[in-house]
Structure 1
Amino acid sequence: MPTRINPCSYLPRRLQIVASLTAFVLFCILFLGTSSSDTTVDPYLNQVPFAKQIQSGAHQVVDNLPSLPKDLPYMNTPQWLNPFRGPAHTPPPEQANSSSGEARWYSDFKWRNPFSSSVTLDEERAVLPPLKERPPVYTYFDATGRRKDDKSKKAEQDLLQIWRRAWWAQGFKPVVLGRPEAMNNPQYRAVQTLELEPELDMEMMRWLAWGNMGTGILCNWLAVPMAAHDDPLLTFLRRGEYPALVRYEGLDNGLFVGGKEEIDKALKAAVNNPAVKRVKSMVEAVPSGTFEVDPAHDGVAFYSTATITAKYISIKEKLEDPETIGDGMAMLPPLINSHLHMTWQNTFTSGIAVLKPLPEHTTALIEPAIDIARNLSQCSETPIPASCPPNRPRCKPCVSSQMLISLPPVFRNTSTLFTIGTVPHSYTLTSLIHSRDELNLKFIRRETSRDAWILAATKELLGTGLSSFARLVNMKEAVASDYGSSRSLWLTAERPPSVSSEKDLEELDWTFGFQLPRSPMPNGHSETPVPGPERRPPPPKQEFGDGPVPSEADLAKEKTLLEKARLFVSKGGRTGDKAFVRTRDVVEAWNLADTEAWKFVRAWNARRRVERRRWEEEEEEFSKGLFHKWIDAIT
């Protein structure tokens, strides 16, 4: 038989399969898929009465239906009806104490994301770094047996406030303990059965109160942190981990750290010591080896009796005279406060930089920041002007220093330079740059550039090649990182602190850890607090670049525009005015990076205020009880 030739055999195996399937599909379409409506007969159609009449009538109805209107509204079907919809992210839940006024925030480790809305799914919530836990630092104050003169009482109140403020500014949670905490310790009764020297009895009460609270830092209320934020001792204390009972050489009983177990063991050892009635301190009452001794440290200054006697003769003389004890005590608060201020000034040897991007139009914008810088550069009042803190004998006294105030147009990341930056809302900055008190969509879109502030502020630090979005990470780190927050103060132009407001100054005091000078400074020059030739720091030095110094008329116009913009941004949102909301949304959408920076700084400052006020409310009940007992004891 002749061999049959398969035409597909000349093709590769895979193409044979494809060709076969193609031929089969074409055969089905040609011979099975075509039909004529005239020849097709439904076998069941003849069984339905009047079937042909019904079928023809249905065709007529369909043919005569009117066409759908072109402007038919779009019906937005709920997504939950769509079975093929994709999964959607949900906004993170609201956290406790996460709002203040119009500022809202969400604390999360993703705070370095350029845009907070990518985390919160909310344009109004800024993502901030999680609040760090503040290690508790305890001091003991007993009103019983205190001096009864008014000056001494006021001085001790001021000293406790200085102690609390200084430790809070360094990242700790200061707590004042009293006899109630000591009485809650199980070893209190054992101590009461001993006939101790008055000094040791007070020391044992301190330790009993500390042991009742547990692990932490025990500090005398005349011992304050007096060093830069990144000082090794303060950095160690902020970790909150104390594996051993440690005392510090040269500080006597001014500072101890340790865990609860070590504290309880030391108390038991002191109670069981047969010679406990003849000693005057806890260090002498416990066996050798109980404490680890740290010999190298200079982050804490202790104004003990021995220190005052050796270093501050004028105060010592007044304290030794019973008639002038109150005067001597009254000299201590301004002395310690001036030393805290002086230490801060000595830390920033390059001076204070008041950030001024776009210098042609922002002179009025940064005036509150300049006022704060002038207060910081001024010398605090002190009874001993040329003195140094106990832990820094080679300091540079304020009477001989000249702290430079400069107005750079760019942000500089220098460790010895303290920066005060003012971040304006996009509407405020646009109004000032273009000298317009009214903005509209057409003008914003065609006449304004995007993110002018952040591009100008980071031009030197990041160059000109990066987008404004990429600069946000560096900006947020300058505001909220450990390094940046200790070397800068960031304000919003719409709610700047005023040096004429005691409330605003008090907020700044807790931020810096010392009381800023309150005396007026009309010309911005720092006066020496002692007689003699005036030593004034030079006036603020401005680096204008290509920008001219504004005239008096231009400055007056800037102030007018600034006040209108502040009113527009701060109050317009609460009025519900649709025109305002539309304009604000357009400006913010056109300047996404500048808006994100402004909202971040606003939320950062608001959370800082909320944190401190919550802590003060928690401690208020205990403080009232403490001072009421004090008043009862002295009357």
Structure 2
Amino acid sequence: MPVQRIFFGWPVPAMPPRRIAVLLGSIALFAVITLVFTLPNSIPSGPSLGRFTDHKISLPKLPKTFSSPSILSPFRVAAHPPPVLKNTTSGDSKWYSNWNWLSPFSSSVTLDENRSLLPPLNERPPIYTYYDHTQKKAADLKAADNALLLTWRRAWWAQGFQPIILSPAEALNNPLYAELQTLELDSTLKVELSRWLAWENMGTGILCNYLVFPMGAQEDHLLSFLRRGKYPKLTRFENLGHGIFVGSKAEITAAVKTALDNPELKTAKDFISTVPKETFQVDPHHESVAYYDPVVVKNKYPKIDEAISKGANGLEILNKLIISHLHGTWRNRFSKGIAVLKPEPDHMSAAIEPAFTLAEFLAQCPESPMPSSCPPNRPKCSPCMASTPLKISTPPTYRNTSELYTIGTVPHPFTMAVLSSFRDNIDVPWIRRESSRDPWITALTKEVSGTGVSSAPRIIKFKEAVASEHGTFHTLWLTAEKEVPQDLDWRFGFTIPRNATDTGKSETPVPGPERRPQPKPDPKNGPVANPDDVKKERELLKRAKDFGQARTPAEEKLRGAIEAWNLADTEAWRFARAFLARSRVERLKWEEEEKHYVGGAGAERGKSSGWGRWFDD
């Protein structure tokens, strides 16, 4: 029999347990709402009791932007991506230049997964030379001049300058040209004054003879000063005569006017003698610049001087000598040789074959009419010997060393997956269950970043190696799926040899290569692949290249999955591809503009680079 509850003599009606729970919940909810809305208003606005405590605790105030719903809300309104500039696309490569280029992942700034974030292009200061293409010359002599001008342009372009060839057209455009025409002067001095008028018409910059070449490291103090593009004083260089000058527009104009107003101008033989000595600041330090003027050639290279006196063939020989000196200077900079990177080395031999071939051509000695000679500015150089080429290594990690030139091959994550797994049947379950994340960038940066580091700082180290000022001059990064670029001569500043050179070492005669001693594996350079594995690697690499060209919906899904699983490796591949493509677009745009002047002097005419011959069977 149920118990009857009594409250102050009154019977209490019985209630089911469920109704009691609902009642208590309603009361609790009402109490919470009452406290929230009425308690703040019940506190008086007078003095606070907090002033009687021993210490105060002030809560930090968050900025309004932090609590803005446009930042925190996942349903915020979509933002426009940054405006795309012109010349930011080449084939499949897309890029956007921004000072925030060291962001680990470009899409956080570009809002486009396929557009890489690159550093802004460095401004190339102009360097001018003067060439009168209107003079009547034999065809072979003009061709020899053009070859010298092309070598001059390549050398200065590789050093970070914008080489511009001036002509009488620029001198004619100068208001002072009419005054020059009224003067009866020596023909040599008149040409020299026309050269200065052409320079004055262009403004601040560098004026040099096209037989003046940068023959030193990019880090040299003089070359670094010239690259800054600010020249506070009109300067010439000791013992270089009329080889090279630097100055600002105002000082160039003042010097030209002083020369034209000189009452003894008719008896002068050169421009320097027509102006006061204090017009120029004379710099004795020019160890990184070589001037192949006729006096130097006669004293140091008499064989070539004799050939020049006989005709255009002598200028061609001089051009070969200059190219060999440029190449030799580059080789002397990298005493530790060339590193062809090979991360995850077990099955990457086929992928790095083009890079290794390039390294072999860079390591060998160029063809030279005087193999044991040195540049005029470096009389104690180390001439290239065919028996001792540069050492080529294949380390698995990147080493930030100034004495070592690095050539890297960046594979797409799919390429990396098929080669490292040694199989072509890659699918999404294999990616998620068996493959590791970002294996290439992890192996590459193991030495510079250590172990136990996430992918974001590794990507920053990689981008610095590719696109920083130091990295640009000490490394080259290719992609595994593309052929070697055809314009690397402009990257290095000299014509790269494209033929094998006899090293002077005796080997077993052909046939019989199997009897030759096989290379011994070096733990620092990774294992040496056997021929059967290399053959299969080439097949897998071709599969990866075909996969990148045209894809079915299933392959497109697979590509998206493997890129999402390897975000850092994908970022590295896109960054390297875009950086290389942008450098080519920059040069082609400049060449397109320059070909309209000086009759196109200094251009590559009807001459293929022959790059494809490297990989012929």
Same-fold call, TM cutoff 0.5: yes
Q: What do the CA deviations read for 1:142-170 (whole angstroms, capped 9, x no partner)?
A: 0344542x432221110000011111111
AA of the residue aligned to 1:373: A
Q: Is residue 591 from structure 1 mapped to residue 566 from structure 2 by the alignment? A: yes
Q: How far, CA to CA, are the matches of 2:332 and 2:180 in structure 1?
A: 45
Q: Is residue 513 from structure 1 mapped to residue 467 from structure 2 by the alignment? A: no
Q: What do the CA deviations read for 1:427-466 (whole angstroms, capped 9, x no partner)?
A: 0000011112121111110010010011111111211121
1:214-233 counterparts in 2 under 5 A?
214-233=203-222
Q: How far, CA to CA, are the matches of 2:32 and 2:319 in structure 1?
A: 102
Q: 1:611 to 1:541 in 2, by over 3 A?
A: farther
Q: How far, CA to CA, are the matches of 1:540 and 1:190 in structure 2?
A: 72
Match of 1:207 in 2: 196
TM-score by length of 2: 0.82
Bigger drift between 464-473 and 338-347 goes to 464-473
Residue 25 of structure 1, CA deviation: 5.9
Match of 1:549 in 2: 528
Q: How far, CA to CA, are the matches of 2:506 and 2:205 in structure 1?
A: 44
Residue 318 of structure 1, CA deviation: 2.5
Match of 2:260 in 1: 271
Q: How far, CA to CA, are the matches of 1:288 and 1:24 in structure 2?
A: 92
Residue 122 of structure 1, CA deviation: 1.0
Residue 588 of structure 1, CA deviation: 0.4
Q: Is residue 438 from structure 1 mapped to residue 425 from structure 2 by the alignment? A: yes
Tell whether the 8 Å contact from 2:205 to 2:247 is kept in structure 1 after alignment: yes
Q: How far, CA to CA, are the matches of 1:421 and 1:618 in structure 2?
A: 32
Decide which of 455, 459, 469 is 2:442's aligned counterpart.
455
Q: 1:599 to 1:85 in 2, by over 3 A?
A: closer
Residue 544 of structure 1, CA deviation: 4.2
Match of 1:469 in 2: 456
Tell whether the 8 Å contact from 1:216 to 1:240 is kept in structure 2 after alignment: yes
Match of 1:488 in 2: 475
Q: 1:189 to 1:535 in 2, by over 3 A?
A: farther
SS of 2:407 mapped into structure 1: strand
Q: How far, CA to CA, are the matches of 1:208 and 1:617 in structure 2?
A: 25
Name the count of aligned residue pairs.
530
Q: How far, CA to CA, are the matches of 1:626 and 1:327 in structure 2?
A: 18
Q: How far, CA to CA, are the matches of 2:336 and 2:363 in structure 1?
A: 12
Match of 2:588 in 1: 613
Decide which of 95, 104, 120 is 2:110's aligned counterpart.
120
AA of the residue aligned to 2:440: W
Q: Is residue 130 from structure 1 mapped to residue 145 from structure 2 by the alignment? A: no
Tell whether the 8 Å contact from 2:212 to 2:244 is kept in structure 1 after alignment: yes
Match of 2:14 in 1: none
Q: 1:459 to 1:191 in 2, by over 3 A?
A: same
Decide which of 294, 298, 304 is 1:305's aligned counterpart.
294
Long gaps (5+) in structure 2: 1-29, 36-68, 508-516, 604-617
Q: 1:352 to 1:85 in 2, by over 3 A?
A: closer
Tell whether the 8 Å contact from 1:406 to 1:542 is kept in structure 2 after alignment: no
Tell whether the 8 Å contact from 1:409 to 1:544 is kept in structure 2 after alignment: no
Q: Is residue 417 from structure 1 mapped to residue 417 from structure 2 by the alignment? A: no
Match of 1:47 in 2: none
Tell whether the 8 Å contact from 1:178 to 1:626 is kept in structure 2 after alignment: no
SS of 2:597 mapped into structure 1: helix
Tell whether the 8 Å contact from 2:124 to 2:162 is kept in structure 1 after alignment: yes
Q: Is residue 377 from structure 1 mapped to residue 363 from structure 2 by the alignment? A: yes
Q: How far, CA to CA, are the matches of 2:132 and 2:398 in structure 1?
A: 48
SS of 2:346 mapped into structure 1: coil
Tell whether the 8 Å contact from 2:232 to 2:247 is kept in structure 1 after alignment: yes
Q: 1:154 to 1:101 in 2, by over 3 A?
A: same
Match of 2:557 in 1: 582
SS of 2:273 mapped into structure 1: helix
Match of 1:601 in 2: 576
Q: How far, CA to CA, are the matches of 1:179 and 1:235 in structure 2?
A: 30
Superposition CA RMSD, Å: 2.6
Q: 1:375 to 1:541 in 2, by over 3 A?
A: farther
Tell whether the 8 Å contact from 1:422 to 1:493 is kept in structure 2 after alignment: yes
Long gaps (5+) in structure 1: 1-20, 27-78, 498-503, 629-635
Q: 1:539 to 1:309 in 2, by over 3 A?
A: farther
Match of 2:315 in 1: 329
Residue 87 of structure 1, CA deviation: 5.5
Bigger drift between 160-169 and 463-472 goes to 463-472
Q: 1:130 to 1:550 in 2, by over 3 A?
A: same
Match of 1:357 in 2: 343
SS of 2:306 mapped into structure 1: helix
Match of 1:158 in 2: 147
AA of the residue aligned to 2:571: E
Residue 310 of structure 1, CA deviation: 1.1
Residue 117 of structure 1, CA deviation: 0.6
SS of 1:489 mapped into structure 2: strand
Match of 1:253 in 2: 242
Q: Is residue 100 from structure 1 mapped to residue 90 from structure 2 by the alignment? A: yes
Match of 1:176 in 2: 165
Residue 326 of structure 1, CA deviation: 2.2
Match of 2:52 in 1: none
Residue 624 of structure 1, CA deviation: 3.0
Q: How far, CA to CA, are the matches of 2:294 and 2:524 in structure 1?
A: 55
AA of the residue aligned to 1:482: E
TM-score by length of 1: 0.80
SS of 1:289 mapped into structure 2: helix
Residue 319 of structure 1, CA deviation: 2.9
Match of 1:44 in 2: none
Residue 550 of structure 1, CA deviation: 2.1
Q: 1:560 to 1:218 in 2, by over 3 A?
A: same
Looking at CA atoms only, which structure, 1 or 2, has the larger radius of gyration? Answer: 1
Match of 1:406 in 2: 393
Q: How far, CA to CA, are the matches of 1:545 and 1:348 in structure 2?
A: 19
Q: Percent identity?
A: 51
Tell whether the 8 Å contact from 1:151 to 1:329 is kept in structure 2 after alignment: no
Q: 1:382 to 1:25 in 2, by over 3 A?
A: closer
Tell whether the 8 Å contact from 1:415 to 1:487 is kept in structure 2 after alignment: yes
AA of the residue aligned to 1:415: S
Match of 1:343 in 2: 329
AA of the residue aligned to 1:106: Y
